[in-house]
């Protein structure tokens, strides 16, 4: 294998930088990685949380028209943009939303119940913006992406033997195991981690960038800058009172037969300026979608050129699917889940190495255990209580707070870890039991049982780990 030739001084400085950055952001980075890993499966969690919804991958323009009429009857004021999310293989459910109001659509086009996915919403919001005000949260998570990139860079320069030791794994001695785990997981999935940090930073910081660059080059007109990147609104030359969705679908079918529509956005409904957009995915493309725009009468205006426009525009619209792992089917999600979990383990093992290298133990050891095992416990516990209409965010925060206090009072990191793991295992088992019992006589999709099965397998793995580590608890 190849060797990195670095001076001792460079290596020392790189280790120092790697350590400083890691210690500063470890907890937040771990939280972001863990919630990010789970968020890859947010569509499955949504279906698991609310399993009793009519599912079908088929839809008709008449169904959409009926749903729009139903929406108009239910709201006092029409939103500027009305969204009709179409069913896909991943989420075979159709819903309509605007101005924060949302309902599922039945097969006959009539509106059903509103989405009730409080835990999944809490989870994704925790990953995207840490439940802070949107702009601040997004920027903070974007900065975490930048710092992760910095950690990867400094990590590479801190380990001149990282290629030389590419296949080494020494088990048994705690510190060495952690070092090897950290380095082996890091090096082989390096391109994935670079991609995740770059796309995460891109998504988080595009707003901040538009603010800084807009002030410098666009006379504070951020909209103009974003229009240059993503394309602006179209000129409406034909005023039409009706919405001919059928004609638009036919036009789309003839011009791009391989395009798969994923949502409709109806702009300025019922006004002279009304038009609508059909977003559609294209095969073998990472762009989130191409957007085809139509007059109200169903005649084509243009498409937004995400698939064939400037390279910059294509890149800007490709980062989302690349970051979420939502392309090319379910297997990509599984691989993203594994690699995301590996990144979370790298965060944990990095701090474990630092803690093991110290000559003493302190409250930091307890605090770190409370974070590492308290966070998944808090996520699991908030999921469990959300089924009984408890607010998941408060349950999450309270559980983590209790875990921290408990760890600080226990002053025995090994024992605390064992107890928190046991609590997590039991909580996961209860979740599976309650979900299956509560929906025993209901007709639920197979994904509901699959998620329960995976949760059960995770709890059994944790149970086995607990059994193997029982000696630690006793001592």
Partner 1 sequence: MIVTALIMEIIGISLLYQSWRKPNRQPLANAIGWSVIIVSLWPWQQAMGLEYGISFWLMAIPPIAWLFVLNNSETRKREAPSRIRKHIFPDNKRLTHAVIKAVIAGPFLLMACFLCSSFVSLAVQHSTGLVKADQLILNLSLLLLFWPISIYWLTAKPIEWRSTIALLTFTLSGSLWLYG
Name which of 165 and 436 has its Cβ closer to partner 1: 165
Name which of 25 and 123 has its Cβ closer to partner 1: 25
Q: How far is the CB of 390 from partner 1 (least distance, A)?
A: 36
Q: CA-to-CA distance for 392 and 35, rounded, in angstroms?
A: 14
CA 188 to chain centre: 23
Q: How far is the CB of 126 from partner 1 (least distance, A)?
A: 23
Name which of 20 and 72 has its Cβ closer to partner 1: 20
Name which of 225 and 375 has its Cβ closer to partner 1: 225
Name which of 359 and 474 has its Cβ closer to partner 1: 359
Tell me if 224 sits within 8 A of 159, measured CB to CB.
no
Tell me if 282 sits within 8 A of 258, measured CB to CB.
yes
Helix (H) or strand (E) holding 104: strand 101-104
In Å, how far are 253, 289, 465 from 308, measured between CA atoms?
A: 18, 12, 51
Q: CA-to-CA distance for 412 and 448, rounded, in angstroms?
A: 38
Q: CA-to-CA distance for 397 and 421, rounded, in angstroms?
A: 18
Q: How far is the CB of 436 from partner 1 (least distance, A)?
A: 31
Q: How far is the CB of 172 from partner 1 (least distance, A)?
A: 4
Tell me if 124 sits within 8 A of 32, measured CB to CB.
no
Residue 111's SS3 state is: strand
Name which of 163 and 433 has its Cβ closer to partner 1: 163
Helix (H) or strand (E) holding 143: helix 134-158
Instruction: Tell me the β-bridge partners of 95.
Output: 85, 104
Q: How far is the CB of 326 from partner 1 (least distance, A)?
A: 12
Name which of 25 and 378 has its Cβ closer to partner 1: 25
Q: CA-to-CA distance for 276 and 291, rounded, in angstroms?
A: 10
Q: CA-to-CA distance for 63 and 112, rounded, in angstroms?
A: 13
Tell me if 342 sits within 8 A of 189, measured CB to CB.
yes
Nearest CA to 372 out of 339, 394, 350, 398 is that of: 350
Phi, psi of 202 (to 5 degrees): -60, -50
Q: How far is the CB of 237 from partner 1 (least distance, A)?
A: 25
> What radius of gyration do the chain's Cα atoms show?
25
Name which of 279 and 316 has its Cβ closer to partner 1: 316
Name which of 144 and 432 has its Cβ closer to partner 1: 144
Q: How far is the CB of 21 from partner 1 (least distance, A)?
A: 6
Q: How far is the CB of 269 from partner 1 (least distance, A)?
A: 30
Name which of 146 and 426 has its Cβ closer to partner 1: 146
Residues 315-328: b if buried by 16+ CB within 10 A, e if exposed: ebbbbbbbbbbbbe
Q: How far is the CB of 157 from partner 1 (least distance, A)?
A: 8
Q: How far is the CB of 37 from partner 1 (least distance, A)?
A: 15
């Amino acid at each position: 294998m190849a060797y990195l030739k670095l001076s001792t001084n460079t290596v020392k400085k790189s280790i120092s930088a790697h350590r400083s950055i890691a210690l500063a952001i470890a907890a937040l980075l771990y939280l972001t990685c863990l919630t990010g890993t789970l968020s890859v499966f947010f569509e499955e969690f949504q279906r698991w949380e609310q399993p009793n919804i009519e599912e079908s991958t088929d839809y008709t323009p008449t169904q959409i028209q009926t749903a729009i009429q139903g929406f108009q009857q239910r709201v006092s004021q029409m939103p500027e943009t009305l969204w009709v999310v179409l069913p896909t293989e991943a989420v075979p459910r159709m819903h309509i939303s605007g101005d924060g109001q949302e309902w599922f659509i039945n097969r006959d086009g009539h509106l059903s119940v509103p989405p009730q996915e409080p835990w999944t919403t809490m989870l994704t919001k925790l990953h995207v913006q840490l439940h802070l005000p949107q702009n601040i949260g997004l920027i903070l998570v974007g900065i975490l992406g930048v710092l992760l990139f910095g950690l990867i860079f400094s990590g590479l320069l801190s380990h001149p033997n990282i290629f030389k030791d590419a296949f080494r794994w020494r088990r048994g001695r705690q510190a060495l195991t952690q070092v090897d785990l950290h380095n082996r997981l890091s090096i082989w999935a390096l391109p994935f981690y670079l991609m995740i940090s770059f796309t995460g930073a891109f998504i988080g910081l595009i707003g901040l960038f538009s603010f800084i660059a807009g002030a410098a080059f666009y006379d504070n007109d951020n909209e103009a800058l974003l229009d240059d990147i993503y394309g602006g609104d179209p000129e409406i030359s034909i005023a039409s009172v009706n919405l001919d969705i059928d004609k638009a679908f036919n036009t789309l079918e003839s011009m791009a037969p391989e395009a798969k529509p994923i949502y409709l956005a109806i702009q300025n409904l019922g006004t002279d300026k009304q038009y609508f957009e059909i977003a559609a995915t294209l095969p073998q493309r990472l762009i989130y979608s191409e957007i085809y725009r139509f007059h109200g009468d169903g005649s084509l205006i243009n498409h937004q050129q995400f698939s064939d426009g400037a390279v910059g525009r294509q890149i800007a619209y490709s980062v989302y699917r690349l970051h979420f792992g939502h392309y090319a089917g379910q297997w990509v999600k599984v691989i993203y889940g594994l690699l995301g979990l590996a990144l979370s383990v790298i965060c944990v093992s990095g701090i474990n190495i630092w803690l093991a290298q110290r000559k003493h133990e302190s409250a930091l050891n307890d605090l770190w255990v409370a974070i590492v095992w308290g966070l998944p416990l808090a996520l699991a516990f908030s999921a469990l209580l959300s089924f009984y209409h408890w607010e998941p965010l408060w349950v999450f925060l309270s559980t983590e707070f209790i875990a921290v206090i408990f760890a600080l009072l226990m002053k025995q990191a090994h024992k605390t870890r064992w107890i928190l793991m046991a609590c997590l295992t039991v909580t996961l088992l209860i979740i599976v039991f309650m979900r299956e019992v509560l929906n025993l006589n209901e007709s639920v999709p197979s994904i509901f049982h699959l998620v329960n099965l995976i949760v059960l397998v995770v709890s059994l793995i944790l149970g086995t780990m607990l059994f193997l580590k029982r000696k630690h608890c006793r001592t």
